[in-house]
Each structure stands twice: as structure tokens, then as C-alpha cells.
A = this chain, B = another copy of it.
């Protein structure tokens, strides 16, 4: 089966710990994931940016950070934060512990080569005598982090140095690499070089590319060829407008989702976040419960990977309950053909908002259909939607259809036909900034 045959699901340290996560915190989250969430498909644990910085702190990056590097300039886990990483063992022990829990282990890497390695002109693996100063492109910088400069992919030693980096990740047991600063601006050469290096490493590793500010669908052929996940937005935080802006993006990307290649709407800023993070203070997600359901439903219907950003052991049980609602993992993995059916402004004044309707089909051989009715207004709204608009004229006629509320987990009355709407009408009250998410099945 292809790598990332279904959208990856897991936990990532960024939203709660920023650049500062420790081995103990990673393991605590891994254990929680294995115990409480793995049955629903959550199986990947990712250590995000700057794990080689011994002085990492909240609210930004350390300027000119004293990254721990080996003799080739490859980043090593800072031993003060990752005690098992001493003596050049890297993430070997941590990856093994994660694997022992039945999970996959992922790490973050920034595009390019460390500035400090360039300054030190460290040897590139191999006999050609190249150094990191030879293979770097000092004009290729990252707009938001100063630790690295780009590789000069026109120099043959650039690929050699990158091959060595990825080989080391493979030797540690890494299953998933989130490579950052790749898509905005779009670095086609770096994307291809990473794909090559992974292939040469001989280990299956999911290649996840970030961030995706203004990512155009025109890059799809190149992305499909080289990677398994590509972000389609900038960092997403616990703000309603961040969630809202993804309606348009996912409507555009959803028709292109395929096994082995997934548009990624970013991590889930849910539960307890901001403990020592880049943005904001220690808090519970500021999204309301209905906004959280909107986010999860939209991500699932569009088949975005789900990477939980909150600290699992200390998040409130209601958040864990949302994430382990059976429909979340089930529809993400088996739903197909997710797409926007309607997006309409309705109402005015304080009643104004947008009605957004998505549909998907069960890809598991049953006749199930999934429908999500979103409402962006500030007040609840009752909508009446004819089944023929949700299922198509032919399928609506093949009913009657029964309806199940996927968030509540219970059955709703079957929509009865009327003279005006012989196929029946689904009537739902949708909360403010909320969603009603249902599954329809043909009655026997």
C-alpha cells in the first residue's frame, strides 16, 4: 500500500511547546496517543522545529542559536532536552520507544544547511573534498528563521550533503519528515532533492512540506511526484478567521485529494496549547466547541491530515472526546469525493452569514453518504435542504434514506417526502459558527 494511503493522523509539538519540547513531553504525548487515541487511527508523533537548539525558549526563535551539530553540520537533538541523545545516538532511543508503543516517529527539518556549519566549512560526506561552504547558497534565506541558508542545488555536493542528512534520519528510525520553508516561496529544486534523498535512504518516510501560504494548485504535478503532504495555508491558530479562510482553500483542493498525496490544512490548535509556544500564552483553545466541530468536520470532509497540536495529557476531556468521535477517523480514512456543494450568503444584519454545504461518499462499498451543513453566522439558523440537492436527483429517488447525526452519534427522523419535495427535506438547526454533520443510508 502506498505511503500515506490515507491522510496521516497524529500529534505535533508545535502548538503547545513551540521550539522547546523535551523528550519527556514527547513521550507523555506518545503514551496518551497510544492508550486513548490509536484505536481511532491516531498513530504518528512529530517533534517540531529546533530540537537541536539547547537554548530554545517560547515566543520566537533564538537569534544565532548554538544548534548542536555533528562533524558534517547535521543537527543533533540537544542533549539537555533529549537526554537519550547523548554520545551521537540522536533520536534512536526515542524513536524506538515510540515504535514500541505501536506508533510512527516524525521530526521537523528546515530547508538548507545551518549557517554555523557553513561558517565552519564542515566536510560534506564523500571523497570530493567539498565543504558545507561550497554547497551552500547564502542568498537563499528563510523569511522567518535565520538558522539556515539554502543549498545550491546546481552544485553536486548539495545533494551529497542532503543524502547524508536523510540517511542519518533513516538510521535513527524516522518515519515522517516535516520539511519547512519549502513552499512559500516555492522551492522546486529543494522539493525534488528531498524526494531523491529519501529514496536513496532506503527507508519509507512520509515527506510533509510546509508552510503553504498562497500555494497554487498549479504545483500539483510536482507535489504529487515528490511528496505525500503539502500545506495549503500559513500557520493556523485558534482564531475563527483562520478556520474560516480554509473553506475556500479546501473547496479548491478537495477534488485533488488522492491516496499518497494530501493537501494539508495545518495542525489542530485544540485542547491545551500555548504552554511554551510561539503564539500566545498557556490556554485552552479559544475556538468555541462549535468552531472546533466546524474545523474537524471541514478537515475530514476535505481529507486533510489531522495533526493534533494540543498537549494531550493535560487537554480537557471534551477535546479528547471530539478527536475520538468515531466518525472523525472513519470518514477521514474511508470517505471519498469530498466536495463543496453550496456556498451562499444568507440573511442580513446580525442574522447574516454563509451557508456552506459539503458532501462525500462512503468509499467502503456501502451506499453511505456524508453531508456537512456549515453556518458561519453569529446566531443559530435553521436550514431546510432537499435531499435531491444533497444526493442528486437519481440517488434521492432511490430512498427512503435514514439519517444519523455523526457528532451526536444518534439517529434523526427520516426526511419525509411532500408534494413539493417528493424526495424529502433535511431540516437542521445549525449553531453559530457551527456545523451539523450527518450520514445518510438507504433504508432496506
Contact = CB atoms under 8 A, between A and B. Distances in A.
B420 A390 contact: no
Given A344-B245, A350-B241, A393 B251 contact: no
A202 interface: no
Contacts of A217: 339, 341
A341 B251 contact: no
Contacts of A213: 344
Interface stretch (A100-108, A218-226, A407-415): A218-226
A248 B343 contact: yes
A321 interface: no
Interface in A339-383: 339-345, 348-351, 355, 357, 359, 378-379
A443 interface: no
A394 interface: yes
A254 to B, nearest CB: 11
A348 B348 contact: yes
B218 A185 contact: no
Interface in A157-190: 185-186, 188
A171 to B, nearest CB: 32
Given A218-B392, A349-B241, A186 B386 contact: yes
A390 B342 contact: no
Contacts of A219: 388-389, 392-393
A99 interface: no
Given A218-B359, A219-B389, A390-B216, A252 B186 contact: no
B393 A221 contact: yes
Interface in A225-248: 239-241, 245, 248
A219 B397 CA distance: 12
A240 B355 CA distance: 19
Nearest to A388: B186
A188 B392 CA distance: 11
Interface residues of A, number: 51
A255 interface: yes
Contact of A214 (B188, B378, B389, B391): B389
A343 B342 CA distance: 17
B341 A216 contact: yes
A220 B391 CA distance: 11
A133 B220 CA distance: 59
A249 interface: yes
Contact of A420 (B140, B386, B421): B140
Interface string A188-202: 100000000000000
A313 to B, nearest CB: 27
Contacts of A252: 251, 340-341, 343
A377 to B, nearest CB: 11
A51 B266 CA distance: 47
A40 interface: no
Contacts of A392: 218-222
Nearest to A238: B350
Interface of A: 139-140, 185-186, 188, 213-214, 216-222, 239-241, 245, 248-249, 251-252, 255, 286, 339-345, 348-351, 355, 357, 359, 378-379, 386, 388-394, 419-421
Q: What 9 pairs between A and B have smallest CB-CB spacing?
A: A216-B389, A240-B350, A218-B392, A248-B343, A222-B393, A241-B349, A216-B341, A188-B393, A245-B345
